[in-house]
Amino acid sequence: LPLSFAQTRLWFLEQMGGLGSTYHIPTSMRLRGELDRDALVRALDRIVARHEALRTTFAQVDGAAEQQIAPADVGFHLAEHDLRERADADAELGSIMAEEARAPFDLEHGPLIRGRLIRLAADDHVLLLTMHHIVSDGWSMGVLTQELGALYGAFRRGAPDPLPALEVQYADFAAWQRRWVEGEVLREQADYWTRTLGGAPELLALPTDHPRPARTDHAGAMLRVELDEELTGGLKALGRRHGTTLYMTLLAGWAAVLGRLSGQDDVVIGSPTAGRGRREVEGLIGFFVNTLAVRVDLADGPTVAELLGRVKERTLGAQHHQDIPFEQVVERVAPARSLSHGPLFQVMFAWQEMTRDGGLALPGLEVGRVGAAPADVQAKFDLSLNLRQAGDRIVGSITYATSLFERETVERWLGYLRRMLEQMAADEGRPVERLALLSADERSRVLDEWNGTDAPYPADACLHELIERQVERTPEATALVFEGELLTYAELNARANRLAHHLRSLGVGPDVRVGICLDRGPAMVAGVLAVLKAGGAYVPLDPGYPAERLAYMLADSAPAVVLTQARLRDRVEHAGVPVLELDADVPAWASMPSTNPGVEELRSHHLAYLIYTSGSTGRPKGVAIEHRNAVNLLGWAGSAFGDGELERTLFSTSLNFDLSIFELFAPLARGAAAWLVDDAVALLRSPADVTLVNTVPSAMCALLDAGALPSSVRTVNLAGEPLPESLVQRIFAETGVERVCNLYGPSETTTYSTGVAMRRADGFAPHIGTPLQNTRVYIVDRAGEPVPVGVAGELHIGGAGVARGYLGRAEFTAERFVADAFSGQAGARIYRTGDLARWRPDGTIEYLGRMDHQVKVRGFRIELGEIEARLREHAAVRECVVLARQDAPGQTRLVAYVVGGETAGAEVLRAHLGQTLPEHMVPAAYV
């Protein structure tokens, strides 16, 4: 006798081992009153005699599994325990129950149904019955209890077996199923499933609390679920209006919640179906239950009504094609298989309309529940929601895999389900993605509590004023160190002031741009200060950049004048922009006053600088930063770092990267010294006596590799790229550094927006910390709704650091800088970073990567999309994909897969990257 398809799958699973009690179907009941033990035993024996399934065992014969059926008189395997004399009867009962739940079944030798009768007192018993799923299902349990009631009642009265004989047995069904599967009906059903499930996502990527184990672990736990009368009534009414059953309505809500949690708009949910479509099998005990994989399409922002329509269509389709065993569906759809999760779906929704579990009724006995819960809950799926109607309410449970989820998380999600259903019932015209998941408490936690970063700062001050105040306090202190040369605050200030007065005479003032194309040195620093003091905004034009890029930035920023030097003049001299050589023998401003110019009309909302960053189109955009933006950053720096830390701050970053803002201004606003070098790698050539290094992780790696991090360094700031754990460990292991700060932020919100400081004793923090002062972070989904803790969304940044926008690019500005919907402050804006992140339960932020097609190497953004576009322009290239892989910190491999044109990839990369990359970034090889 062959096995049914479902049995075959379970048989295989059991052969693979490790299932434990996952497929046990237990029931327990308390019997109060006078029990006729003999009638009970006869009734149980009779049930086993009636149902071949309960006498079945499985054997491997010539490589194939077979059913073997024992004679009808084998009897029911009932163990009896007498606890009447035991003082510890309760404890003993508990351990008997636990033992019963766990004791394995032997599929080869049986029995596959067993029971225990525990006598607690003459009129008090507990009956435990356990079947293996391979011979039964939930419906079967209903058949069993019903027959048990009828037989017990009859035998107790001395009457004969009242039950009609069974027409067919399970093995007949299994054989029929095998034949049927060859047929035409089956082909049609199979087509339906391959059509509807083809291309479905392999995994519903729920945000788990723990990483998914390589092999599914069946340990589970269970929570009760109850929807009150009001909600149940609302859902019924909603269903009436849209022609959906409660099952469909609940499934729609559950799918919507799962979609939001996973960020997927294509969600497959399993649903059991009784599999008893033919009348002859209704009264049988056996494994009939089948599983339907219902795929719910959440794409294109359906309203509640539209989603109900979609779910209705899908569930009707599924039910119409439910005869084909799930095992066959899996085989035909052939999804990618993994031992770490079930095929096709990982979340179950069971609506128990199809079990006919009327409960056990035994004449003369009061049948009740047994107090103690079963010892182990088994989780066959990531999540299983089991609901049924109980009077005017909907009740049930949710079972979750404890290897993946914490109880609090699942409790929270149940709250989301309830809120989702409430809002669906309340308003069917709204788009489902706009319905709020979070409770008021959670919402205020992520929107306000975790953004409670208000701190006073001199919002009216300008960047250079902070420095001018230091000049007054400590004129003789060292402000700048460069190649052994020291400049005091007074000297630097005087030098900048003379130039500033001259710039004023050239028409520089508020919001007027001034280019800076200078070698790194005191003149560059004085130039930057002079521009600010004259009321203007500086535009860094790093002479290391390719000529084409410099030309672009010059044309785009349209500076009134460019500060440069003789050596570099020809790099910036074109299109009629006046240039000023700062290294001229007799500068025009030599005799200008050395006092602060004090520009009357300058306010902190005027521009301080313009830093170019390549946006998602690849055409660099000038980020326009106002004084007040940068002043807040410095306010944060002033409280986050001690005097000793900033005392001698390495200034190694190009002015064209906004890390330079911190390195130059944080020390100068504090009376400390900026230690200027060409770049971080310059430390390899000549060590510097610095206390703080602020750079990108890849540069830090290079310094460690060369053992070139000065021993005077106490604090390391790392920013601009994801910070690898190994790097932090190396820093603490190989140097005397006391604090490592991971700082995160795009140029558009003024250098740093979140951060975390790690002390040696703390070790690595796997996150980017919390919002800095006067900064607000929102993590939102596609519809702009705040996502729950743990769920990935786009990181939006609001607060004092938000830039004015992109210079001369109103459209882009409007797209990326939008109104802050959550701060409640009139006119507040946020910047949409395009970064993916999620909240951790403690309010820190985990950075997950870019949403778009972009990589960053040494702080420099490279647009893969643009490289692809260039490749496609090449005559020989028909198709291409460009991927980026970080081989090691500071070492990124771009791989271009090109169809057509053997050498085109290398050619285009060489030509394109050659023009794009700053000079210090040397491609290792074009292969």
Q: Which of ligand AMP, Mg ion, none sits in contact with 613, Cβ below 5 to 8 A by type?
A: ligand AMP
Residues numbered 42-101 forming contacts with ligand AMP, rule: CB under 6 A: none
CB 96 within 8 A of CB 133: no
- Out of 743, 780, 797, 867, the residue judged to bind ligand AMP by CB under 6 A: 743
Q: How far is the CB of 417 from Mg ion (least distance, A)?
A: 40
In the complex, the smallest distance separating the C-beta of residue 659 from Mg ion, rounded to whole angstroms, is: 6
295 with 267: CB under 8 angstroms?
yes
Q: What would the two tokens of residue 839 be?
A: 């909240």
Whose structure tokens read 């609302």?
A: 234
Q: How far apart are CA 701 and CA 844, in angstroms?
A: 25
What residues contact 285, with CB distance under 8 A and at least 6 apart?
47, 51, 53, 54, 131, 135, 136, 140, 143, 144, 170
- Within 10 angstroms of residue 235's Cβ, the number of other Cβ atoms is 22
Q: Is 747 in the site for ligand AMP (CB under 6 A)?
A: yes
x/- track of binding to Mg ion for residues 604-643 (CB under 5 A): ----------------------------------------
Return the one option of Mg ion, ligand AMP, none that residue 850 interacts with (CB less than 5 to 8 A, by type): ligand AMP
Select the span of 209-217, 375-383, 548-556, 740-748 touching ligand AMP (CB under 6 A): 740-748
Residue 723 CB, nearest approach to ligand AMP (Å): 6
Q: Evaluate whether 93 touches 62 at the Cβ level (below 8 Å).
A: no
Which class for 88: exposed (0-12), middle (13-18), buried (19 or more C-beta within 10 A)? exposed
* DSSP collapsed to 3 states, 770-792: EECCCEEEEEECCCCCECCCCCC
- Residue closer to Mg ion by CB (options 721, 868) is 721
CB of 847 to ligand AMP, least distance (A): 5
* Residue of 596, 833, 892, 916 interacting with ligand AMP (CB under 6 A): 833
Residue whose CB is less far from ligand AMP, 722 or 766: 722
User: Is residue 853 a contact point for ligand AMP (CB under 6 A)?
Assistant: no
Residue 917 near ligand AMP by CB under 6 A: no
Q: Which of 290, 399, 742, 813 binds ligand AMP (CB under 6 A)?
A: 742
**Distance separating alpha carbons of residues 137 and 301, to the nearest angstrom:** 38
Q: How far apart are the first and last CA of the chain?
A: 62
Enter the tokens of residue 490.
């007074």
Distance CA 438, CA 435 (A): 9
A 10 A CB-CB count for 259 gives: 22
- Nearest approach in angstroms of CB 744 to Mg ion is 8
Any contact of residue 847 with ligand AMP (CB under 6 A)?
yes
Q: Is 850 in the site for ligand AMP (CB under 6 A)?
A: yes
835 is a site residue for ligand AMP (CB under 6 A): yes
Question: CA angle 600-605-609, nearest 5°?
Answer: 95
Minimal distance in Å, beta carbon 752 to ligand AMP? Answer: 8
List Cα–Cα distances, 144 to 51, 141, 158, in angstroms: 10, 5, 21
Of 850, 842, 852, 836, nearest to 793 by C-alpha is 836
Q: How far is Cα 471 from Cα 153, in angstroms, rounded to an integer?
A: 101
Q: Which is nearer to ligand AMP, 329 or 611 (CB)?
A: 611
Binding-site member from 44, 494, 702, 768 for ligand AMP (CB under 6 A): 768
Structure tokens at 360: 């056990």
Residue 854 C-beta: closest distance to ligand AMP, Å: 8
Site for ligand AMP in 695-734 (CB under 6 A): 719-723
Contact 86, 92 (CB under 8 A): yes
Number of residues binding to Mg ion, judged by CB under 5 A: 1
Contacted entry of Mg ion, ligand AMP, none for residue 835, CB cut-off 5 to 8 Å set by kind: ligand AMP
Q: C-alpha angle 223/225/229, rounded to 5°?
A: 165
Amino acid at 197: L
The footprint of ligand AMP on residues 576-615 (CB under 6 A) is: 613
Instruction: Pick the piece of the chain touching ligand AMP (CB under 6 A) from 9-17, 307-315, 505-513, 739-747.
Output: 739-747
Output 288 or 744, the one with its CB closest to ligand AMP: 744
CA angle (791, 794, 795) in 5-degree steps: 105
- Distance of closest approach, residue 725 Cβ to ligand AMP, in angstroms: 12
Site for Mg ion in 505-544 (CB under 5 A): none
Find which of Mg ion, ligand AMP, none residue 489 binds, CB within 5 to 8 Å per kind: none
* Closest separation in Å from C-beta 451 to ligand AMP: 18
Closest distance to ligand AMP from the beta carbon of 749 (Å): 9
Of residues 251 and 830, the one with the C-beta less far from Mg ion: 830
In this complex, which beta carbon is closest to Mg ion, that of residue 137 or of residue 658? 658
Task: Report CA Rg, the chain.
Answer: 36
The whole-angstrom distance between residue 797's C-alpha and the CA centroid of its chain comes to 18
CA nearest neighbour of 838 among 448, 446, 449: 446
- β strands within 402-461, DSSP E: none
Min separation Cβ 861 and ligand AMP, Å: 5
What does the DSSP 8-state code read for residue 737?
-
3-state helix, strand, coil in the chain (%, to 5): 35, 25, 40
Taking each helix axis from N to C end, the angle separating 229-242 and 407-426, rounded to the nearest 10 degrees, works out to 50
From the list ligand AMP, Mg ion, none, pick the one residue 722 interacts with, judged by a Cβ distance below 5 to 8 Å according to partner type. ligand AMP
Contact status, residue 770 vs residue 452, Cβ threshold 8 Å: no
Which range, of 366-374, 480-488, 742-750, 837-845, touches ligand AMP by CB under 6 A? 742-750
Query: Quick one: 143 or 655, whose CB is closer to ligand AMP?
Result: 655
Residue carrying the six token digits 């959906």: 244
Nearest CA to 652 out of 663, 665, 667 is that of: 663
Q: Closest separation between CB of residue 746 and Mg ion, Å?
A: 6
Site string for Mg ion, 308-327 (x = CB under 5 A): --------------------
How far apart, in Å, are the Cα atoms of 914 and each of 258, 571, 855, 898? 46, 17, 16, 19
CA distances from 625 to 418, 612, 742, 746, 860 (A): 45, 11, 22, 12, 19
Q: How far is the CB of 655 from Mg ion (least distance, A)?
A: 13
Q: Enumerate residues 648-667 that contact Mg ion by CB under 5 A.
A: 658
Nearer to ligand AMP, 315 or 653 (CB): 653
Q: Residue 546 CB, nearest distance to ligand AMP (Å)?
A: 18
Judged by CB under 6 A, how many residues of this single chain contact ligand AMP? 20
Binding to ligand AMP in span 640-679, by CB under 6 A: 658
Please state whether the peptide bond connecting residue 111 to the residue before it is cis, i.e. omega within 30 degrees of 0.
yes
Contact flag: residue 619 with ligand AMP (CB under 6 A): no
The encoded tokens of residue 817 equal 């800088």
**H or E, element range at 389:** strand 383-390
Q: Determine if 465 is a binding residue for ligand AMP (CB under 6 A).
A: no
Q: Closest approach of Cβ 719 to Mg ion, in Å?
A: 6
Residue 861, contacted partner among Mg ion, ligand AMP, none, CB below 5-8 A by kind: ligand AMP
Specify the residue, 545 or 847, whose C-beta has the smaller distance to ligand AMP: 847
Q: Which two tokens stand for residue 592?
A: 């200008």
633 binds ligand AMP (CB under 6 A): no
**753 binding ligand AMP? (CB under 6 A):** no
Residues forming the site for ligand AMP (CB under 6 A): 613, 658, 719-723, 742-747, 768, 833, 835, 847, 850, 856, 861
Binding site for Mg ion (CB under 5 A): 658
